[in-house]
Structure 1
Amino acid sequence: MASIVSFEDLAGAVRGLPPSCGPVRVVAVDGPGGSGKTTFAGRLARALGAQVIHSDDFPVPWDEPPVTWFRQVEEQVLGPLAAGRPGGYRRYEWAAGTFTDWVDVPVAPVLLLEGVSTARRTAPAAFTVWVEAPAELRLARALARDGASYAPQWREWMRAEEEWFAADGTRSRADLLLDGAAIPGEFVRIQPS
C-alpha cells in the first residue's frame, strides 16, 4: 500500500540526523525537471523552518549537462557553511538574463538544496530525496510554466538529465523515493524493489 509522506514526520527525522556540512544538515531534493521537486522542497522547508536554495536561482545553461551550475553553490554557500560561516549568492533572473538580489544563507540547523543534480555524489547531503513523474507529465508541467516555445530546449534538457542521472546513480542512492505525479501537493512514497 502506498503511503503519503508526512512532512512533519520527515522534518523530525531530518532534525535527528548528524550535520553534513559544518554544523548544517543539508537535504538535497533531486529528480528530473517537472517532477514536483520545488513543491516538495517548499512544503518540507515550511515543516522544518528552513531555507531552500533552488537550482533555478543560478544560470543553468540549456546546452550543458546539468552539472556546471553547482560550482557556484559549492563556492558561495557550501564552502562557507562547512567552515561554520554564513554564505550567500546573487539570485539569477531567467527572464531578464541577469543577476538580481543578494540572498544570505545563514548557518542554520537545516538547508534544503532543490534542483536537478543537487543530490550528486559529491554533495554534502545528510539526506537525499528523489522525486519522479512520467516524462509526458513532466514535459507538460514545464511547458505550462515556461511556454510552448521552449519545447525543443526541454526535450534536449530531458535527454541530458537522463544521461546525468544514469552516470551519477542519483536515484539508487536516494534516502527517500517519491512519486510526484500524485494529486498536486501530495507525494507518495515509492517502495524500493
Structure 2
Amino acid sequence: MHSRSSDPVALALQRGAASILDAIVDVAASNPVVLIDGRAGAGKSTLARLVAANWPLAGQPQLIALDSLYPGWDGMDAGVECALHDILRPHARGLLSTWRRWDWELEMEAEASAVTPALGVILEGCGALNPATARLADVRVWVQSPEPARKRRALERDGDTFRPHWDRWAAQEDSHIRRHDPHELATLTVTIP
C-alpha cells in the first residue's frame, strides 16, 4: 500500500488505512468487525475501500456502507439501528444474516444481501459508532476532517443531490456526536486534511 503521491489527503488516507490494518492484525481474529464513523465528506468510504483492498486476513471482508441502509435523508438513526439488528448482532453470534438495501430513488427497501459470520465486516458511515455498536466491534475508527474540506469533498462527490440536504444531515451528525461521543468510543482516530 505504498504510494509516491504528494497529495496530503491521499497520504493521510494511506497512513490511516495502514493503522487500521495493523489494528486488525493485532485483534488476532479471523472475522473482525471494523466500524468507521465520521461526518459527511471526512473520507470514511475511501478509507474503508483502502482497508478492504488491503485486507490482511484470509477471505475478503464484507464492506457495507451505511448509505445503503439509511431510509432517506432523515434516517441516520434508523439506518444504524438496522445495521445493529441485521448485521452486527447476528455476526457477533456467529449467525448468517441478511440486510436490505435502501433504494433512494424509489424510497423503499430493495434487494437483500447476506452477511456471513465467517468473514470480517467493515461497516462505514455517519453514526456507525455508538455504545451498542462499539460493544460488537474489534476496531473502532473515528475519521475527522475540517468542515470546509469535508463539505467541498462531499459536494464534489454528490453535488446537487446532497447540497439541499447538507444542513439537515449535519444536524443528525451533531445529535449523534452529542449523544454518543463517537470520538471517545474509537480505538483509532484518523485525521484527513
Task: Provide TM-score, normalisation by structure 2.
Answer: 0.79
With over 3 angstroms needed to count, the CA separation of the structure-2 counterparts of 1:80 and 1:156, relative to structure 1, is same
Matched, 1:59 2:65: no
1:177 aligns with 2:189: yes
Q: 1:78-128: per-residue Cα shift (whole Å, max 9, x none)? A: 232222111111212223323333211111342111001111111111111
- AA partner of residue 80 (structure 2): F
Contact 1:15 1:109 in 2 (8 A): no
Unaligned 5+ segments in structure 2 are 1-10
Q: What is the CA RMSD across the aligned residues, in angstroms?
A: 2.4
Equivalent residues in 2 for 1:132-151 (5 A)? 132-148=144-160, 150-151=162-163
The residue that corresponds to 2:3 in the other structure is none
State the match for 2:5 in structure 1: none
Q: Name the structure 2 match of 1:36.
A: 43
**Stretches (4+) displaced over 6 A:** none
**2:20, 2:188 within 8 Å by CA — same for their partners in 1?**
no
SS at match of 1:85: coil
Change (3 A) 1:162 1:47: same
Q: CA 1:92–1:149 in structure 2 vs 1: closer, same or farther (change >3 Å)?
A: closer
Cα distance in structure 2, aligned partners of 1:27 and 1:35: 17
User: How much has 1:149 moved relative to structure 2?
Assistant: 5.8
> In 2, distance between residues paired with 1:121 and 1:81?
17
Q: Secondary structure at the match of 1:16?
A: helix
Structure with bigger helix share is: 2
Aligned to 2:129: 119
Instruction: Determine if contact 2:71/2:108 at 8 Å carries over to the other structure.
Output: no
Deviation, structure 1 residue 31: 0.4
Aligned-residue offset at 1:74: 2.2
Aligned AA for 1:71?
E
1:167 aligned to which of 179, 184, 189 = 179
% of aligned pairs identical?
26
> In the alignment, residue 92 of structure 1 is paired with which amino acid?
W
- From the superposition, tell whether residues 130 and 99 of structure 1 become closer, same or farther in structure 2 (CA, over 3 Å): same
Q: Quick one: distance in 2 between partners of 1:160 and 1:8?
A: 30
Residue 104 (structure 1) aligned with residue 100 (structure 2): no
Give the structure 1 partner of residue 6 of structure 2: none
Cα deviation, residue 13, structure 1: 3.0
Change (3 A) 1:145 1:95: farther
Instruction: Kindly provide the amino acid, as one letter, of the partner of residue 127 in structure 1.
Output: V
Q: 1:165 to 1:18 in 2, by over 3 A?
A: farther
Q: What is the aligned residue count?
A: 176
The amino acid of 1:40's aligned partner reads L
